[in-house]
Structure 1
Amino acid sequence: MSLKYQIVPVTSFAQNCSIVWCDETMKGVVIDPGGDVKQLEMLIQELNVEIVNILLTHGHLDHVGGTQPLAAGLNVAVIGPHKADNFWLQGLEGQSKMFGFPLTEAFEPQQWLVDGDVVKFGNQEMAVYHTPGHTPGHVVFYSKDAQLTFVGDVLFAGGIGRTDFPQGDHATLIASIKSKLWPLGNDVEFVPGHGPMSTFGRERRTNPFVADEMPLY
């Protein structure tokens, strides 16, 4: 069995929405549907994936803007992020005005996530890690089988998430990256919220914000 995924950049922010599924059962999830819902629905249909949940890494509009219409269209529950991001979800109307997005109404997920939770679809499961700093309630999703992590806006190829938003904190973000992501292993690939994929090992060697000159082995 294996985990399959397809990354779909959505909205003017080119946010990486991911459709992730179990190739044995064709059951899957959508991570961070920020917008372009019709495009996502068509692709889900083409891939012939049965979406069972929508997962959110954090409450920023470019990651959650399409959540409500997609959840309604697919008749599925929304899971995540951590409850500390509720103020972002409650402020979506203001966010959409500020960024010139279509009006996005406030919502709450059917389930908040905490560190140590596991989300399952088909024969696959992903571990949940609470990784505050970019936002206080940010979470990431890690598949041990696939050696793959969906990290939202915590870490990018060559960069890290912004911390100048309300309740963002630079030191907290660095601590999240080093204490939660690095121990997963240097070979683990990650899908960031924007831009190309990378591995934790590559970022530990070359990322100017978090490189720690790890020993190569």
Structure 2
Amino acid sequence: MNAVSTQPAIRALIAPVTPLQQNCTIVWCAKTSKAAIIDPGGEVPRLLQALKDQNLTLEKIWITHGHLDHAGGTAALQEATGVPIEGPHPDDAFWIDDITASGAKWGMPDARSFTPDRWLQDGDRVTLGETEFEVYHCPGHTPGHVIFFHRQARFAQVGDVLFQGSIGRTDFPRGNHADLISSITTRLWPLGDDVRFVPGHGPMSSFGQERRTNPFVADSVLAES
């Protein structure tokens, strides 16, 4: 697991899980030690041990989108802890309904479908201890994808919308490339070049770095399209 350097309000750990090495993120309110697990794709016992090691109390489960590698462990984690599930946007319900079947197909038999306690919409807020994250609906990779943004810490968890040097795939059912580019340029970029983000896979980056160097959405690339 990799610790993330953030502002005093929050702390974070990145725990790659499942054979697809999806970045599950444990974030917590530094003042209260109340935690959320973002995208528990699997390896639930390992995630529970991480909470124990950090002396954290799990308060929420947050889901960016309904793909198996991001949400496959959600049902088991809720059963183990009793905490509410928040997210994604309801347009991803069909993906969540497919998790059990997808898990059997891809060798993750413990993955199960679930029903969120709260579906999220663009502009919603989610609380964690004494701090708050903003929710942005960013369709394209999936129709109901959301991202979580902590304004004070200049920190975001963006799932499979954006990666260091790449962007999310749009060849899955109900994916849309134009929507994804719009989500990145109209929802993420305005948050600020200084925002550091955890992607769904791979290393962290910043929006500013991607605007300068990303071969798919850099400002110079989009200006030529």
Q: Shared fold (TM-score greater than 0.5)?
A: yes
| CA-CA distance at 1:69 after TM superposition | 1.0
2:180 pairs with 1:176: no
| CA-CA distance at 1:98 after TM superposition | 2.6
2:36 pairs with 1:62: no
SS of the aligned residue for 1:213 comes to helix
2:40 pairs with 1:36: no
CA–CA separation in structure 2 for the residues paired with 1:53 and 1:87: 22
| Corresponding position of 1:141 | 148
CA–CA separation in structure 2 for the residues paired with 1:104 and 1:6: 22
| CA-CA distance at 1:141 after TM superposition | 0.2
Q: Deviations over 1:74-121 (max 9, x none)?
A: 110111000000000111122112322124332110110000000011
Q: Which amino acid aligns with 1:145?
A: Q
CA–CA separation in structure 1 for the residues paired with 2:81 and 2:55: 13
CA–CA separation in structure 2 for the residues paired with 1:105 and 1:23: 31
Alignment counterpart, residue 85 of structure 1, candidates 66, 89, 92? 92
- Mapping of residues 1-217 of structure 1, within 5 Å: 1-213=8-220
Moved beyond 4 Å, runs of 4+: none
Note if contact 2:42-2:111 (Cα within 8 Å) is conserved in structure 1: no
After TM superposition, the score normalised by the length of structure 1 is: 0.96
Q: Which amino acid aligns with 1:17?
A: C
Q: Deviations over 1:163-212 (max 9, x none)?
A: 00000000100000000000000010000000000000000000000001
| CA-CA distance at 1:213 after TM superposition | 3.3
Q: Which amino acid aligns with 1:175?
A: S
Name stretches of at least 5 consecutive residues in structure 1 with no aligned partner. none
CA–CA separation in structure 2 for the residues paired with 1:175 and 1:159: 15
| CA-CA distance at 1:7 after TM superposition | 0.4
CA–CA separation in structure 1 for the residues paired with 2:117 and 2:133: 18
Note if contact 2:72-2:113 (Cα within 8 Å) is conserved in structure 1: no
Q: Deviations over 1:40-81 (max 9, x none)?
A: 010101111111110000000000111111111111011100
Question: Bigger CA drift: 7-16 or 104-113?
Answer: 104-113
Q: Which amino acid aligns with 1:204?
A: R
Name stretches of at least 5 consecutive residues in structure 2 with no aligned partner. 1-7
CA–CA separation in structure 1 for the residues paired with 2:64 and 2:122: 12
Q: Which amino acid aligns with 1:25?
A: T
After TM superposition, the score normalised by the length of structure 2 is: 0.93
SS of the aligned residue for 2:179 comes to helix
Q: Which amino acid aligns with 2:216?
A: F
